[in-house]
A and B are shown apart, each in its own frame.
Chain A
Amino acid sequence: MALHRGRGFAAINYPIGMNLGGDPSQALVHSNPDGKFSVALSSIDLGQGMKSVTRQIAAETLGVPVEDVYVDTADSDTGPHCMGSFASRGTHRVGNAVIQAAQEARAVMLEAAAEELEVDAADLVTDGRGNIHVRGAPSRSITTMAACQAAQFRQGRTVSGRGIFLIPLSEVDPDTGEMTPVSCFAHAAMLVEVEVDDETGEVRILDMQSAYELGRALNPGLVEQQLVGGAWMGMSHAAWETTEPRYPDRSHGPVDFNSYLMPGPGDIAPHHISVLERPAPDGPFGGKGPGEMCANPVLPAVCNAVYDAVGVRIDELPVTPEKVLRGIRALGGARPRGRL
């Protein structure tokens, strides 16, 4: 009886946004008289960072410090329509709507500043630290606060903007499946190393090496959290979780976290992540959406690694010790492959 190591590989891509389009999201942006901006949405922050990434997108577009922007979501009386937070659509769809709204508000702010400075608005730039100045002449400047104050108290302008992003619905051909299913793709590749006990059938996931391409990483911290957590979910799908362990039989369904298995702290494998950033032509600042796809490559990579280790193909998830052991017995013993 022995422990066998094996390595498995998988590569995937993932469509961003509701597959057939037809899923609009809107944003409203306005400034108070102090030049502090509110972004009104009805998008949902599930913990993934919706409020935070839209806040950064608004600040970057407006050209103001991120502390000067606050995102308010989701109240149906004040937030404009959003389809929702699912389908990896939040960053992509809502982000684009926020850019459009913030561009409109920024234009008013610059017009107000231009009037105060008696220059052409087209010659003005923002420094991202709360100042607007003439391009190439930093001394001819006004703060964003003073510009917004002047707009509202002297010039009678509302420093505000509206944004919507919609990819129109795609048709699907019933006979060929022809369609325009997505606007952009994220990508990933993953190599997993496992150790299989041929006496108990137990599989330990030892190490994960990955590369994720997800457009521009708008907030590297949020990206890291998604990828770490998502890969954990992937390994959990691969070798632990299911609501129906005897599928299609419905017996033995778990009812709590004692019986619904998930990897605990001792089961978590080190995960070495590399992030590649190929900006999406239609993404906000080139961003795509790392949220969903980060789990997907782990499932097949684990199965392929088990095969590499002991020669057993597990084609039905999850990979349980029982399935592995039955497979080893059917082979008359472990048959390590060592292909990778």
Chain B
Amino acid sequence: MIEFRKEFFADERDDDLATIGQRVRRQDILGHVTGRSPFYDDHRFEGLLHIRCARSPHHHARIRRIDTAAAERMPGVVRVLTGRDVPRNLNTLLSLLDFGLDDEPILAETKVAYRGEPVAAVIAETEALARDAVAAVRVEYEELPHVLDPEEALKPGAPVVCDVYPTNRFIYHGKYDHQKLRYGDVEAAFARADHIVEGRYQMSPIEQAPIETCGAIAAPEVNDRYVCFTGTQGLFFSLGTAAKVLQMPSSRLHFVGGTVGGGFGGKVDSVHEPIAILGAMLTGRPCKFAWDREEEMQVGAPRGAERWYLKDAVARDGRILARKFTGYFDAGAYTRLSSYAVIKAVGHLPGPYTIPNVHADVHCVYTNRTPSTAMRGFGITGVDFAIECHMDKVAEAVGMNPVELRILNAYRDGDMKAHRREAKNCALVECCQVVAEKAGVTLSPEARAASSRTGGGGERARLPAFTRTDQDGRVEGFDTGSYARKTGSAPPPRSESTRHTTAAPQTTPSSQPRPAAPPPRAPQPPAPPLASGQRADAGGSMPPADAASPPAAPRRTGALRFSSLSGFRRR
């Protein structure tokens, strides 16, 4: 049951648009309901080969030897790929944005760091034959000690999960082994609080569970190109990854997707595309690499587990004076998107409330489990679970109605947030009021009269007079001028990567991969196009309509890259 409460914020909208706001039928609904919409797996190829991976049975082990001879002799097996066949066998998705170091092989060569990590890929005439041959791949492992709990992984002497990050922590800004948020002075607030409320929260790892599992089909196309049909959520992310891993100009790649059977974040950093294309390159035939449900659930990257510790200083009247967070994101064995999830979480703290003192230390930690990735609510769902369970405890500590506690502390237009930007376009108060009204929760007259548009700004817009900072977790040996590159390494080459017409074995990657074309950067935020029906004065910050055309970019030399969390760097 749904209702649209048009009376709220009506003065900020014109509700007379022709198409916008209408229940227009989906463009693709006929194809979907008749089962005729072409998903990636509906593209049929004669002579299609199937790829299945041999996977590590261990949480952590050194690879002594991979013997594919028996598998290669089995009926229907066309080829078995190992890491030596991958032109650039070290990657991380966000390297395309120059964010973090390459840390993960496509096919493991020297060690495995989680149970299920792929060590070889069998290409066979049928999926069943590929499965049989996977069982015949012989790998000699030397088991290593493993660590599965993020806080255990940070203790001295813990096994090193990923050699690229030897302290089991991602390095932020080349400076700290965690991301900091410092706003005001939480310790001073704790000293004068009426109540201290503490809590520990554990968000569980969760599978995205799309109906269509991850996969791709690649085939040689005419004119020395490869076509790839894929279920990716980011067509150019996948294309850029393939170009990088295969050391191939992107002009030789033709990606087709766009109709996908659910994603929920699990199809952002897939490597099905480069593996399928590599198969097509080395066999000259179309190749499909698709996960079955077990792979989707156990080796497909889930929403990562998060552990949060919260501590609040609360005044007798329910106002939260300070909030302190310590967070651990369990990245699993490799970075994937967890480094970015931490940044997103930190930018979100302390939740939708105006709290004058906030402190956070948030760690991206490596453990010997399936790497984590994005999922619906990326970086936010886990910490919101922690914050809102914690708010319930705060309400109990001060003897207050939980809805009123939220309204009392809710952020309003014009308030300063802990990341030091003013809040605007707020609506938390109104959401609380509507739910209270519907559910029959009695609110005080003050809570009923509250508004996101009043009561903010002024004193609440002021930055703290004093912010306590520290150097805890300082690291050496990383170049602070870039994201996490080690001092002394040469800047990556800017030239086009060498074109490999055949995939020559290349066990040692070149100094740095050539990233895909960097996103262009306008010198200042372009104004969004002013849509009709939207009042320019409503938000207070709507730029004039003629600002919609992007200003001419000043001439720059050298590529501008998303090279650092500290900003763009010219190279």
CA–CA, A64 to B438, complex, Å?
39
Sorted from nearest, which 5 A-B pairs have the closest CB atoms? A84-B234, A281-B539, A181-B347, A300-B388, A74-B258
Q: Are B541 and A84 in contact (CB under 8 A)?
A: no
Q: How large is the interface on A (under 10, 10 to 19, 20 to 34, 35 or more residues)?
A: 35 or more
Residues of chain B with a CB closer than 8 A to A255's CB = 293-294, 297-298
Contact call B233/A76, Cβ cutoff below 8 A: no
Segment with Cβ contacts to B, from A16-24, A132-140, A148-156 = A16-24
**A331 within 8 A of partner (CB):** no
Q: Is there contact, CB below 8 Å, between B568 and A169?
A: yes
A127 to chain B, nearest CB (A): 8
Please report the C-alpha to C-alpha distance between residue A316 and residue B305 in the assembled complex, in whole angstroms. Answer: 10
Asked whether any CB of chain A lies closer than 8 Å to the CB of B570, the reply is no
User: A2-10, A29-37, A112-120, A194-202: which lies at the B interface?
Assistant: A2-10
| CB of A81 within 8 Å of the partner chain | yes
The answer to whether A256 and B293 touch across the interface, beta carbons within 8 angstroms, is yes
Q: B356-381: contact bitstring with A at CB < 8 Å (1 yes, 0 no)?
A: 00001000000101100010111111
Instruction: Please give me the residue from chain A that is nearest to B263 by CB atom.
Output: A46
| Residue in A closest to B201 when the chains form the complex, CB atoms | A315
Given contacts A241-B206, A279-B534, contact A52 B24 (CB under 8 A): yes
Determine which of A9, A74, A281 lies in contact with B392 in the assembled complex, contact meaning CB atoms within 8 Å.
A9
- In this assembly, does B3 line the interface, its C-beta being within 8 Å of a C-beta of chain A? yes
Taking the closest CB of chain B, its distance from the CB of A289, in whole angstroms, is 11
A96 proximity list for chain B (CB < 8 A): 528-529
Contact for B19 among A43, A56, A237, CB less than 8 A: A56
A13 to B459, alpha carbons, bound, how many Å?
Answer: 23
Contact of A318 with B by CB under 8 A: yes
Given A15-B347, A174-B566, A184-B425 in contact, is the A282-B376 Cβ separation under 8 Å? no
Q: Supply 13 further A-B pairs (C-beta < 8 A) apart from A171-B565, A176-B469, A177-B180.
A: A11-B432, A60-B19, A76-B253, A189-B403, A211-B435, A243-B206, A250-B59, A277-B4, A279-B12, A279-B13, A284-B529, A285-B534, A300-B392
Would you give 17 A-B contacts (Cβ < 8 Å), ordered by A? A15-B344, A20-B565, A42-B258, A44-B235, A76-B254, A81-B519, A84-B234, A84-B268, A164-B526, A176-B420, A179-B347, A224-B2, A241-B209, A278-B8, A295-B377, A295-B381, A300-B392
* Complex contacts, B265 vs chain A, CB 8 Å: 86
Find out whether the CB atom of A22 lies under 8 angstroms from the CB atom of B149: no
Interface mask (A255-268 → B, CB under 8 Å = 1, otherwise 0): 11100101000000
The 8 Å CB contact of B9, one of A243, A247, A277, A339, is: A277
The prevalent SS among residues of B at the interface is loop
Closest-CB distance, A85 to chain B (whole angstroms): 5
Partner pick for B236 among A84, A166, A179, A181, CB 8 A cutoff? A84
Q: What B residues does A175 contact at CB under 8 A? A: 180, 182, 469
Are A174 and B173 touching (Cβ within 8 A)? Answer: yes
CB pair A84–B237 under 8 Å, yes or no, is: yes
Q: In the complex the two chains form, what is the Cα distance from A317 to B303 in whole Å? A: 13
Query: Which residues between 422 and 454 of chain B lie within 8 Å of chain A, taking CB atoms?
Result: 424-428, 430-432, 434-436, 438-439, 441
Contact: A177 with B182, CB < 8 Å?
Answer: yes
Are B180 and A11 touching (Cβ within 8 A)?
no
Residues of chain A within 8 A of B401, CB atoms compared: 339-340
Contact with A along B377-415 (1 / 0, CB 8 A): 111110011111101110110000111001000110000
Query: Is B195's CB within 8 Å of the partner chain A?
Result: no
Q: Complex formed: what's the CA distance from A237 to B204 in Å?
A: 8
Is B340 an interface residue when CB atoms closer than 8 A count as contact?
yes
Say whether, besides A7-B439, A76-B239, A278-B425, A271 and B1 are in contact (CB < 8 Å): yes
A85 adjacent to B381 (CB under 8 Å): no
Alpha-carbon distance A243/B236, docked complex (angstroms): 29
- A residues contacting B by CB (< 8 A) are 7-15, 19-20, 22-24, 41-47, 49, 51-52, 55-57, 59-61, 63, 65-66, 70-71, 73-77, 79, 81-87, 96, 99-100, 103, 128, 163-169, 171-182, 184-185, 187-191, 209-213, 216-224, 227-228, 230, 233, 237, 241-244, 247-250, 253-257, 260, 262, 270-286, 291-293, 295-297, 299-301, 303-304, 307, 313, 315-318, 339-340
Known contacts A270-B1, A315-B389; is A209 also within 8 Å of B439 by CB? yes
B335 within 8 A of A: no
Cα of A131 to Cα of B499 in the assembled complex, Å? 52
A297 to B389 Cα, complex, angstroms? 10
A171–B419 CA distance with the chains assembled, in angstroms: 11
Contact between chains at A46 and B262 (CB < 8 Å): yes
In the complex, chain A residues whose CB is within 8 Å of the CB of B565 = 20, 171-172, 174
A28 to chain B, nearest CB (A): 15
B428's partner among A169, A173, A189 (CB-CB below 8 A) is A189
Interface residues of B in 1-46 (CB under 8 A from A): 1-6, 8-9, 12-13, 17-28
A79–B236 CA distance with the chains assembled, in angstroms:
10
* Bound complex: CA A317 to CA B432 (Å): 24
Say whether B457 faces chain A, with CB atoms less than 8 Å apart. no
B315 close to chain A: CB less than 8 A: no
- The answer for the CA separation of A221 and B22 in the assembled complex, in Å, is 8
- Please, how many angstroms separate the alpha-carbon atoms of A56 and B419 in the complex? 35
- Which residue of B1, B206, B538 is within 8 Å of A237 (Cβ)? B206
- B346 interface residue per 8 A CB criterion: yes
**A168 and B381: CB pair below 8 A?**
no
Contact between chains at B384 and A299 (CB < 8 Å): yes
Closest to A212 in B: B431
Say whether B538 contacts A256, CB under 8 Å: no
How many angstroms between the C-alpha atoms of A257 and B294 in the bound complex? 9
Q: How far is the CB of B37 from chain A (nearest CB, A)?
A: 9
- Is B419 within 8 A of A209, CB to CB? no
B329: Cβ under 8 A from any A Cβ: no
- Beyond A70-B27, A169-B567, A177-B419, whether A244 also contacts B539 by CB under 8 A is no
What are the residues of chain B within 8 A of A10 when measuring CB–CB? 384, 388, 391-392
B172 in contact (CB, < 8 A): yes
* Interface members, chain B 52-87 (any A CB < 8 Å): 59
Q: Is the CB of B20 within 8 A of A285?
A: yes
Say yes or no: A45 contacts B260, CB within 8 Å.
yes
With A9-B435, A84-B235, A175-B182 known as contacts, the answer to whether A257 contacts B293 (CB < 8 A) is yes
